Chains A and B, each alone.
Chain A
Amino acid sequence: EPEVTQTPSHQVTQMGQEVILRCVPISNHLYFYWYRQILGQKVEFLVSFYNNEISEKSEIFDDQFSVERPDGSNFTLKIRSTKLEDSAMYFCASLGTDLNEKLFFGSGTQLSVL
């Protein structure tokens, strides 16, 4: 089965630093997403991205966050100035052209902000 690939699997950073989380969605997919899960809590939607622009974002996705699809294959989430509360598992997901089909999730990047 096709896979969504995320790198790195673990990222440790100092508070205030910028981090970029990388994802390679499934190659023919058109819709891309970031979710996050703080330890012990629910999986939360952050942002959806289609046709090179954000389609929807949650209230969590403030000005410190940005997404980009720089080269047609990678999909990145940037956190400009990390805070302690940004520590979480971040999941990338992608969806094909059948919009009522399944989301494919990556295995996640564990971000630890010290």
Chain B
Amino acid sequence: DAKTTQPPSMDCAEGRAANLPCNHSTISGNEYVYWYRQIHSQGPQYIIHGLKNNETNEMASLIITEDRKSSTLILPHATLRDTAVYYCIVSGANAGGTSYGKLTFGQGTILTVHP
């Protein structure tokens, strides 16, 4: 799976948008960009994923650049409960189809939302 690069930490004021960047310059054509987060030591929680189009769900928006080499996760109105480690992960099926669900977690971005 392609490697990702994220800033180690970011701050955001409560109620403002949090924009978390991710670089994945070696992404291949069949790989998706996934975002998960981990609050304290709980299990990772899925946020959103996309292939090449921008995506939006009830939690966040995902903006993927046209060349797919980077993406931004947007939490439109951050709350204190959004304080967590956010992981950008690139993953997809290999030729044998055995790597589904095998996510390679990096260190992620520690997002701190302050009042």
Evaluate contact between A91 and B44: CB separation under 8 angstroms. Answer: yes
Q: Which of B66-115 contact A (CB under 8 A)?
A: 87, 92-93, 97-107
Contacts of A104 in B (CB 8 A): 46
Q: Are B97 and A99 in contact (CB under 8 A)?
A: yes
Q: How large is the interface on B (under 10, 10 to 19, 20 to 34, 35 or more residues)?
A: 20 to 34
How distant is A43 from chain B, measured CB to nearest CB, in Å? 4
* Residues B92 and A100 in contact, CB atoms below 8 Å apart: yes
Residues of A within 8 A of B43 (CB): 4, 91, 93, 105-108
Q: Does B28 contact A (CB under 8 A)?
A: no
> Is A103's CB within 8 Å of the partner chain B?
yes
Q: Which residues of A contact B93 (CB under 8 A)?
A: 99-100
Give B83 Cβ to nearest chain A Cβ, in Å.
18
Provided the pairs A43-B38, A56-B99 are in contact, do residues A103 and B104 lie with their beta carbons within 8 angstroms?
no
B residues less than 8 Å from A45 (CB atoms) = 102-104
Alpha-carbon separation in the docked complex, A43 to B89 (Å): 12
The closest CB in chain B to the CB of A55 belongs to: B98
Bound CA–CA A81/B44 (angstroms): 27
Binding site for A on B (CB under 8 A): 32, 34, 36, 38, 41-46, 49, 87, 92-93, 97-107
